[in-house]
């Protein structure tokens, strides 16, 4: 798998961004920072349509988002991102009331707070026309325009405001019935898609119009203001869904001056023919996948045998997934959505992100990232039997103290590497055993058709028993923590591993979990000789 570091950074940024959905900023209305961000961005979009206050609307979106992200994570190191310097500059600008963009960010945030209060206080007490009038006056006072010029802005905002109160259908009691007092809203999902677009554009350096992507994602759920969130399991065909969504988009955009250009963006998103539309579509889909995984990792999904009210399980395809071995809710999300991304050479990172999400606890990525790779029965048999036979012979050598196995991933081998490290007594000649390792590698390579790289290495055991005094030694003993000890004649290696487990990792490890597990099979076979 290529660009593992970029995938890890992207997932880490997304998971941190996801907490904006959980940080409540308006307790009386139970609105999160993400809800508030969405309101501010919709106002920026509508005001841009009517008054063209900025030449770079997507920059305003980023400034709004990044300012809130940095408030939640003041010590986040943006320098780790390829566009980190740009993002830091935009955070500084967002807080600078002496520059025009900083003033706009402040204004849109203030307007969202003021209009939210107006709607929640008076929506049920005055007529719709009176509400539009009062909302338009508030907007006009901060935009230095006549109230009549602001009516379409308020109408657009008021419709989109509904998305702050609409939960994502996939998590409700008729679908996955997430175990939480508060589940994701549609507006929060939109902010999640924007965070993904920003970090993926940074780390994978997309050659596309990212400004169009951000604008597309900001408005991509506009139709749901009128029809709600329709899932593939709700009995509506894709064709019918598209028809009613398009009519809802037309109605929801009202009479904004830029209605036609906004509709063009929405239609482009639906057709998925341009790079920008495809990227936006992928961000929209994988954000739902990642949210499902976060709910899984937080223990908020019910077990698969507790889904009697879940309409998803009416699908014969889903029922087959369970028969084929799906163990939890995310297994089904993964199997259902993986075909969306597979085979796209322009955006290969999406399927890789989904694979990494499946194999890891997203809440604890830290610096150890795992990838799950399935082996055929023949591949598993060859690797486990060949390695067991070889290690059994090595066990007979009195100069060999212990052997451990690490399954890791790098950009050179798509199916990963099984690295077997042979640890020698300090008195023996290293060169002799280094040559032996070369012979073993050559012998296995001749018959190895699995695609999994196999590498035997040797080292001195006492290098693991001393205190690590330089980076290479630290890396060595940290790798041991993530490895399987196949045998340890003196017990010293197990003691080192036990001690090192207490310390946090200094290095990034990209590991492979083979299914079926090769290391477990070898360990069982070797148990007979220990």
* pLDDT at residue 17 in the model: 98
CATH code of the domain in which 328 resides: 1.10.3210.10
The yes-or-no verdict on residue 530 having pLDDT over 60 is no
Boundary residue ending a domain (349, 382, 410):
349
The yes-or-no verdict on residue 125 having pLDDT over 60 is yes
Q: Is residue 455 included in any domain, yes or no? A: yes
Query: Looking at the structure, do residues 343 and 413 belong to the same domain, yes or no?
Result: no
The 3-class SS string of 159-188 reads HHHHHHCCECHHHCCCCCCCCCCCCCEHHH
Query: Looking at the structure, do residues 281 and 425 belong to the same domain, yes or no?
Result: no
The yes-or-no verdict on residue 229 having pLDDT over 80 is no
Query: Looking at the structure, do residues 228 and 157 belong to the same domain, yes or no?
Result: yes
Query: Looking at the structure, do residues 300 and 378 belong to the same domain, yes or no?
Result: no
Q: How far apart are CA 526 and CA 520, in angstroms?
A: 10
Q: How far apart are CA 498 and CA 514, in angstroms?
A: 24
How would residue 328 be classed by pLDDT, with cut points 50, 70 and 90?
very high
Query: Looking at the structure, do residues 13 and 134 belong to the same domain, yes or no?
Result: yes
Query: Looking at the structure, do residues 278 and 388 belong to the same domain, yes or no?
Result: no
Residues 283 and 193 sit within 8 Å (Cβ to Cβ)? yes
Q: Is residue 365 included in any domain, yes or no? A: no
Q: Is residue 355 included in any domain, yes or no? A: no
Query: Looking at the structure, do residues 313 and 383 belong to the same domain, yes or no?
Result: no
Task: Indicate left, alpha or beta for 52 from its phi (over 0: left) and psi (-120 to 50: alpha).
Answer: left
Among 1-5, 65-69, 105-109, the least confident range: 1-5
Boundary residue ending a domain (280, 315, 349):
349
Residues 188 and 32 sit within 8 Å (Cβ to Cβ)? yes
Query: Looking at the structure, do residues 247 and 176 belong to the same domain, yes or no?
Result: yes
Q: Is residue 505 included in any domain, yes or no? A: yes
**Strand pairing report for 31-32 and 484-488:** unpaired
CATH code of the domain in which 430 resides: 3.30.460
Q: Is residue 362 included in any domain, yes or no? A: no
Query: Looking at the structure, do residues 304 and 403 belong to the same domain, yes or no?
Result: no
Among 22-26, 120-124, 242-246, 300-304, the least confident range: 242-246
Query: Looking at the structure, do residues 316 and 392 belong to the same domain, yes or no?
Result: no
Dihedral (Cα; 172, 177, 178, 180), 10-degree rounding: 80
Question: In angstroms, how far is CA 280 from the centroid of its own chain?
Answer: 14
Residues 430 and 438 sit within 8 Å (Cβ to Cβ)? no
Q: Is residue 361 included in any domain, yes or no? A: no
Dihedral (Cα; 188, 189, 191, 193), 10-degree rounding: 170
**Strand pairing report for 400-410 and 368-374:** unpaired
Residues 218 and 244 sit within 8 Å (Cβ to Cβ)? no
Q: How far apart are CA 203 and CA 495, in angstroms?
A: 40
Give residue for tokens 């993400």: 34
Residue 245 vs residue 288, higher pLDDT: 288
Q: How far apart are CA 79 and CA 86, in angstroms?
A: 9
* pLDDT at residue 45 in the model: 97
* pLDDT at residue 466 in the model: 60
Q: What are 79-106's pLDDT values in tens digits? A: 999 999 999 999 999 999 999 999 999 9
* pLDDT at residue 469 in the model: 56
Q: Which two tokens stand for residue 428?
A: 């023996």
**Strand pairing report for 484-488 and 453-460:** unpaired
Q: Which residues contact 120 (CB under 8 A, 6 or more apart)?
A: 28, 29
The pairs formed by 447-450 with CB atoms below 8 angstroms and a separation of 24 or more are 447/382, 447/386, 448/382, 448/383, 448/386, 449/382, 450/375, 450/379, 450/382, 450/383, 450/415
Across residues 199-215, what is the average pLDDT?
Answer: 96
Q: Is residue 358 included in any domain, yes or no? A: no
Nearest to 18 by CA among 264, 199, 274: 199
Query: Looking at the structure, do residues 113 and 240 belong to the same domain, yes or no?
Result: yes
Residues 34 and 64 sit within 8 Å (Cβ to Cβ)? no
Across residues 191-218, what is the average pLDDT?
Answer: 97
How would residue 317 be classed by pLDDT, with cut points 50, 70 and 90?
very high
Query: Looking at the structure, do residues 163 and 124 belong to the same domain, yes or no?
Result: yes
Q: Is residue 364 included in any domain, yes or no? A: no
> How many domains are there within the chain?
2
% of the chain with per-residue pLDDT over 90: 83
Q: What are 420-472's pLDDT values in tens digits? A: 999 999 899 999 999 999 999 999 999 999 999 999 999 999 888 765 556 66
Residue 461's domain comprises 374-529
How would residue 254 be classed by pLDDT, with cut points 50, 70 and 90?
confident
Across residues 512-521, what is the average pLDDT?
Answer: 96
The 3-state DSSP class for residue 56 equals: coil
pTM here is: 0.91
Across residues 492-511, what is the average pLDDT?
Answer: 88
The yes-or-no verdict on residue 411 having pLDDT over 90 is no
The 3-state DSSP class for residue 69 equals: helix
């Amino acid at each position: 798998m290529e660009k593992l570091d970029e995938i890890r950074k992207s997932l880490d940024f997304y998971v941190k961004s996801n907490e904006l959905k959980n940080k409540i900023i308006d307790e009386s209305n139970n609105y999160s920072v993400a809800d508030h961000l969405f309101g501010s961005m919709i106002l920026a979009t509508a005001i841009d349509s009517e008054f063209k206050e900025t030449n770079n609307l997507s920059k305003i979106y980023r400034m709004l988002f990044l300012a809130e992200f940095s408030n939640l994570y003041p010590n986040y190191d943006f320098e780790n991102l390829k566009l980190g310097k740009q993002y830091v500059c935009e955070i500084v600008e967002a807080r600078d009331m002496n520059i025009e963009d900083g003033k706009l960010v402040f204004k849109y945030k203030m307007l969202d707070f003021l209009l939210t209060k107006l709607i929640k206080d008076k929506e049920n007490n005055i007529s719709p026309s009176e509400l539009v009038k009062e909302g338009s006056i508030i907007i006009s006072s901060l935009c230095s325009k006549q109230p009549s010029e602001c009516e379409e802005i308020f109408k657009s905002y008021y419709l989109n405001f509904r998305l702050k109160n609409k939960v994502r259908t996939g998590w409700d009691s008729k679908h996955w019935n997430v175990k939480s007092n508060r589940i994701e809203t549609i507006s929060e999902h939109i902010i999640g898609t924007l965070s993904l677009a920003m970090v993926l554009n940074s780390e994978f350096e997309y050659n596309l119009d990212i400004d169009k992507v951000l604008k597309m994602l900001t408005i991509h759920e506009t139709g749901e203001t009128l029809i709600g969130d329709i899932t593939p399991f709700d009995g509506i065909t894709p064709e019918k869904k598209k028809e009613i969504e398009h009519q809802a988009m037309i109605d929801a955009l009202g009479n904004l001056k830029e209605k036609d250009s906004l509709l063009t963006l929405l239609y482009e998103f639906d057709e998925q023919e341009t790079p920008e539309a495809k990227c936006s579509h992928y961000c929209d889909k994988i954000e739902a996948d990642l949210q499902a995984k976060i709910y899984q990792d937080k223990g908020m999904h019910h077990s698969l045998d507790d889904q009697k009210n879940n309409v998803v399980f009416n699908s014969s395809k889903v029922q087959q997934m369970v028969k084929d071995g799906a163990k939890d809710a995310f297994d089904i999300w993964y199997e259902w959505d993986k075909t969306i991304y597979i085979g796209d050479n322009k955006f290969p990172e999406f399927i890789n992100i989904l694979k990494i999400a499946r194999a890891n606890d997203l809440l604890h990525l830290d610096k150890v990232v795992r990838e799950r790779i399935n082996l055929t029965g023949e591949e598993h048999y060859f690797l486990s039997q060949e390695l067991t036979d070889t290690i059994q012979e090595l066990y007979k050598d009195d100069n060999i103290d212990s052997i451990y196995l690490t399954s890791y991933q790098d950009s050179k081998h798509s199916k990963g590497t099984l690295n077997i490290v042979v640890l020698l007594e300090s008195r023996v000649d290293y060169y002799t055993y280094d040559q032996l390792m070369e012979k073993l590698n050559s012998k296995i390579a001749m018959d190895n058709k699995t695609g999994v790289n196999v590498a035997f290495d040797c080292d001195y055991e006492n290098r693991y028993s001393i205190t690590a005094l330089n980076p290479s030694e630290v890396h060595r003993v940290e790798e041991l923590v993530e490895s399987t000890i196949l045998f340890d004649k003196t017990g010293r290696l197990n003691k080192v591993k036990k001690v090192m487990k207490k310390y946090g990792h200094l290095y990034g490890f990209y590991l492979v979990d083979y299914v079926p597990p090769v290391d477990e099979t070898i360990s069982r076979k070797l148990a007979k000789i220990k």
